[in-house]
Structure 1
Amino acid sequence: MTDIEIRPATLDDLDGLTQDSADLFAEDGVTRDRLRDPEWPRDDIRTRCAGLIAAPDALVLVAVEDDTVIGHVIGTFSPASSMWTAARAELVSTHVAVPYRGQGIGGRLVEDFIAWGRERGAVRLHVSAYTANDSAIRFYQRYGFVPLSIELALDVD
């Protein structure tokens, strides 16, 4: 097996990053939330990823094997504000393609996000996961994330 490189994403990675993000959306969001539009990635995700690559307060890393994106992590940083007393960083998305799971790639991506947030001065790091996604919750807990709040929903139709 070739070594997996984890590095900052560039616009040259946009096709692979877009596909990996779409795979995450289909695997997690669409299967766990009936209000998610399965076609959303087709129109919106590429532009969103390109904007994040260029954003000064975002971290976009890709895991690459032989020039093919096989995983990613996206994080955003928010400084203290009139509402928030301290800086925070949010792990917006992380994904590793199924054939590459269990090799520590996701852990490397999350550890890089944690280091990035700390370097920027974030006092809290945040990630959300669907309550039905037990494996994601266990995964993030291994890196020190703990439940802070719960989101409740009521579908009325």
Structure 2
Amino acid sequence: MTNNPNEILIRTASVEDKATLLNLEQAVVGAERPFNAQIKPAAHYYNLNDLLNSTDSHVVVAEHNGTVIATGYVQIRQSKPSLVHEKHGYLGFMYVSPEFRGQALNQRIIQNLMAWAESKGIFDFYLDVYNDNQAAINAYQKLGFAPSLLEMKVNTAK
């Protein structure tokens, strides 16, 4: 089934979307579990109350025929003192329902989020992506993102 990207609405998420966002959060967790076996069952990544109510964050959803099919957020955060920018935008909760992938929907969401942050004077953006998630890395690189820092880990429990 091909879905027309022109019929997809990007809008600011509201508290009324919270139940749907909680379900999408679990979809994110499920999508990331193959890249990190240490993720707990039914893990929670986001404090949705804070994200939805803070003046320093902007959560958007994509809707098709009244159904939320994608999401993302940007949060204005304090930068490390060693950096030239005092604050930056952190992008997260990037998820597109599988049947809507490949339509540049994630790109539209990120552009919306970055425009919101830029309107607040934020021009530096960061996000995290698993090293083996090549599809996501490719999508972010199309938007101008480049690898910056590699987190390394080890689990010594046998």
Out of 13, 32, 36, the residue aligned to residue 35 of structure 2 is 32
The alignment's C-alpha RMSD in Å is 1.9
1:62-81 matches, within 5 Å, as 62-79=61-78
Matching of residues 88-107 of structure 1 within 5 Å: 88-107=88-107
Structure having the higher helix fraction is: 1
Q: Please list every run of 5 or more consecutive structure 1 residues that lacks an aligned counterpart in the other structure.
A: none
1:145 CA drift (Å): 0.5
How far apart in 2 are the matches of 1:78 and 1:84?
A: 13
**Unmatched 5+ stretches in structure 2:** none
- Counterpart residue number, 1:21: 25
Describe the SS at the equivalent of 2:119.
Answer: helix
Contact 1:129 1:137 survives alignment (8 Å) = yes
Output the CA distance in 1 between the equivalents of 2:78 and 2:117. 11
Report the TM-score when normalising by structure 1: 0.87
Range moving further from structure 2, 125-134 or 73-82:
73-82
Identity of aligned residues (%): 22
- Contact kept, 8 Å, 1:117 with 1:125, in 2: the verdict is no
Matched ranges for 1:98-117 at <5 A = 98-117=98-117
Q: Which amino acid aligns with 1:61?
A: V
- The whole-number CA distance in structure 2 between the counterparts of 1:146 and 1:117 is 19
Q: 1:11 aligns with which of 15, 38, 61?
A: 15
